[in-house]
Amino acid sequence: MATICALGIETSCDETAVAVVEANAQGCRLLGESLATRPEEHARLGGIIPELTARQHLELLPKITAEVRGKIGRSGFQVVGATAGPGLAPALLVGLSFGKGLAYAKNCAFHAINHLEGHLFSPFVSAGVWPEYPHLSLIVSGGHTLLVDAASPTERKILGTTRDDAAGEAFDKLARMVGLGYPGGPAMEIESRQGKAGRYQLPRPMKGSEGCDFSFSGLKNAARLLLVKNPDIVLPGQARADFCAEVQAAIEESVADRCERAFEKTDRKILTVSGGVSANRGLVRALEVVAQKSGVKLRQALAGWNTDNASMVAAVTARRALDGVSSDWERDVDPRWSVSV
């Protein structure tokens, strides 16, 4: 059985990541990975600065690539893949250029990889197996919130996407409004466990509406107005915990409703969830409830594979090589590259 080693590079946003997987027709396994990020710098500036991330990638990529190759105890790999989009153009350009240079120097095949396709793969390849088709996929992160109907490896249709802000962005912005720092999504979830939803009233965006689209800008605005009227919420204590619980409930209910709508529109029996916000335990519990109600199996990307990572990029790269797909040296970065095919 043919086995291939693939090296993947991920630089779509602020994480600089490199990983190597070993794969064959049955599945793949992670041999080694390294990830570097400097959240304190972005926190100091209040968010992600594209030019800063590009400089960080330039500095960190050679170092962590060497680290990964040291971890796996070998220098050989047959194919290199790097994220070409979607993402921040300056950050993508650094990773794509580095990947092409590495592949050329090692006389390897090269593939430009869609970051979102990596997220589609992650709930399966994190368990060592290749994606099972057909399935529905929920990708929910700081930059993306969308539902994808994956009928086959070459047939993907976006059923719904956010009309404005992503769920992860809503979590982060609202957390910052009440002094929980950046990135604030994980901190808001932890705070919400000490509170109770219902004390404050926030909308459940798009719940009950036609289609499968998402929207979170209205939730952010309603929360901002609530904080103006109730400034004490920002202080540590029960009021802030109850506010966080209401935000958590609003996003959970909205996302779960959109997924239930997607089940109604398709006959898919598998729902996958990936992206940074898929680490939110409350959201996963809400998805488990709606999946069970609809007779659908839920698959979640395992820890380490749910956020932006190079392992999923390496896995997609390996699959390309196993399928005999030709190198795509000419592809440039595409900050808005759609996962639909």
**Does the pLDDT of residue 42 top 60, yes or no?**
no
Tokens of 165: 């802000």
Tokens of 90: 């300056």
- Looking at the structure, tell me whether residues 150 and 119 fall in a common domain: no
Q: Is the dihedral of CA 275, 278, 283, 287 positive or negative?
A: positive
- Looking at the structure, tell me whether residues 157 and 288 fall in a common domain: yes
**Does the pLDDT of residue 99 top 90, yes or no?**
yes
- The CATH number given to whatever domain includes residue 46 is 3.30.420.40
Element spanning 79, H or E = strand 79-85
User: Residue 143: which residues within 8 A CB-CB, separation 6 or more?
Assistant: 13, 86, 87, 166, 168, 169
Phi, psi of 212 (to 5 degrees): -125, 15
Number of domains observed in the structure of the chain: 2
Element spanning 22, H or E = strand 16-24
**Does the pLDDT of residue 35 top 60, yes or no?**
yes
Asked if 142 contacts 279 with a C-beta cutoff of 8 angstroms, the reply is no
Query: What is the structure's pLDDT at 182?
Result: 77
Contacts of 42-51 spanning 24+ positions with Cβ under 8 A: 42/14, 42/182, 43/181, 43/182, 43/183, 46/176, 46/182, 47/182, 48/13, 48/14, 48/88, 50/88, 50/89, 50/90, 50/91, 51/90
CA-CA distance, 144 to 121, in Å (whole number)?
A: 16
Closest CA to 138 of 118, 153, 119, 155: 119
- Looking at the structure, tell me whether residues 283 and 224 fall in a common domain: yes
Query: What is the structure's pLDDT at 50?
Result: 80
Better-scored residue on pLDDT, 45 or 116: 116
CA-CA distance, 71 to 221, in Å (whole number)?
A: 47
Residue 206 lies in a domain: yes
Average pLDDT taken over every residue of the chain: 94
Query: What is the structure's pLDDT at 274?
Result: 97
- Looking at the structure, tell me whether residues 195 and 89 fall in a common domain: no
- Looking at the structure, tell me whether residues 182 and 211 fall in a common domain: yes
C-alpha neighbours within 13 Å on the C-beta side of residue 300: 17
Q: What band does 123 get if pLDDT is binned at 50, 70 and 90?
A: very high
- Domain assignment of residue 122, given as a range: 4-126+305-322
**Does the pLDDT of residue 158 top 60, yes or no?**
yes
Q: What band does 49 get if pLDDT is binned at 50, 70 and 90?
A: confident
Q: DSSP class of residue 3?
A: -
Residue 334 lies in a domain: no
Task: Look up the pTM and report it.
Answer: 0.94
Better-scored residue on pLDDT, 141 or 76: 141
